[in-house]
Structure 1
Amino acid sequence: MTNAHLLVGSLKSEEYLKLVEENKAALNLVYDRILEGGYELPANSFDQVNLSITEDDYAAINSDQLFLLLFQALAPNGNLTIHKLTPPTLSSQLILTGYTAPVNSEQSSTTTTTKPAHTPAVSLSLNRSQKPSKSLWNFESAPPIDPSQLLTQEDKAAPATPLSCPTTKKRRACADCSCGLKEELANQSQVNIDTSTDLKKTFNSVQDAQAKGATSSCGSCYLGDAFRCASCPYAGLPAFEPGQKVEIDMSADV
């Protein structure tokens, strides 16, 4: 089939019905016959294709598939003319399908594009002489992994962060402690807090406070309230460096 003319449209389009009346020798098809496989368009056979569908048709159908089928049916240098269809994505859609840059005519309300004479192609050079080495896939020859070498001494070292319960996030062991915090705290020096009025109020360090009876079970009171018990004598004071002199008022009217 050469020098053939194809009309594709929608029965809702008055322009399509007009084109059919004016071009009785042209092959005319409703677009759904093409999309549903009711008519298989011959490849590279039409010099001119006219498409006339409504905006509603365009939004409802798979327009990418329709443009591709028309592209395949067009002969090289064949023209596609689209009537009264102006969605914003139309131009990019046609170019991505393989058509040339479309030309819009406001006077005739048409968009015209062309199928290039030569379909763009990409040439790839494959070097088949290089084959993957079988040893790369031979897992039996892989050297064994020594688990003891996976962790360094630094990885095995205990973290330098203060101990706390993973559940309550507090430095106080639960009654039914099972995480080991109770044992860790038992290994630390624990002295009940003495809140008597004759307690020394000036300490040079946490160790000094412990020696004078103003210690708590956590041992990290100097880090700030976030690390202090509810009854800690340091409660309300900012964090301080060990060795810093701290004044604590523990009088009965505080």
Structure 2
Amino acid sequence: MDIMGRKSSALLLTDDVALPLDAILSAVRDAGAEAVPEDDVVVITQCESLEGKLPIMTASFDVVVTAWNKPELVGEQWLREIGRVLKPGGELILQSILSSGVLEKPSSTMELKLLMQGFLDVQSLEMKPFSSSGNVQSITIKGKKASWTTGSSFPLKKATSMVPKIKIDDESDLIDEDSLLTEEDLKKPQLPDFGDCEVGSTRKACKNCTCGRAQEEEKLQKVGLTTEQMNNPQSACGSCGLGDAFRCGGCPYRGLPPFKLGEKVSLPGNFLVADI
């Protein structure tokens, strides 16, 4: 039997020699599956001899119905093969006759097998046996193949961060920042005036000094101190900055006003004026 090129709506698998087709189609309708016309069904009897391999193209059927007298046929090989011939989104209605010694219906075990093979919406159905011969018990499970195929892909929507739009009302209580500035704030700051003398490491007053450096050098010459001694005065005895009353006879700071150690010595404006 070679039905590789044929595509129909439904496939019926049974390990029996014959099975009433009307009962199968009625069961399909009762299970809520899509109605299948009688002339659009492929029936394979004594399927046990196929050993779980169907000569059918992949994704050929919308519905597959199994009617097995041997529960051991419901295994990984057959379920994988049924999933292969089903179209994406196709349905499986699986019925198996229970052995006479079975007291409880192993529906949970059957459902777990379908779930392990990737079927969705697996549930147990209350349905009469497809075969009307004898007083037998059966179990019926319904499952659905996923609507996507292995290897399929779809673009992911990139999450965009939406910035909330703020409506600004002209009559709101917002304050204009420029109105907080005064005329004094808008004036250009005056940079400090730099001397017109040399700015090197030696820094001497120029010939026509107008910045006051020449007067400072003259004061230093009068007191006999270096620039370092005037800008950063130090004292070995600790009393040089207290004034002449506390200074010794050889103190280089004699004649200068009191000062703080480590701070520049400030000379009064009349320091160079001769005493009368």
Please state which band the TM-score falls in when normalised by the shorter chain. 0.3 to 0.5
Greater RCO, CA 8 A, separation 6+: 2
Which one has the largest radius of gyration? 2
Q: TM-score, normalised by structure 1?
A: 0.39
TM-score for the superposition, normalised by structure 2: 0.36
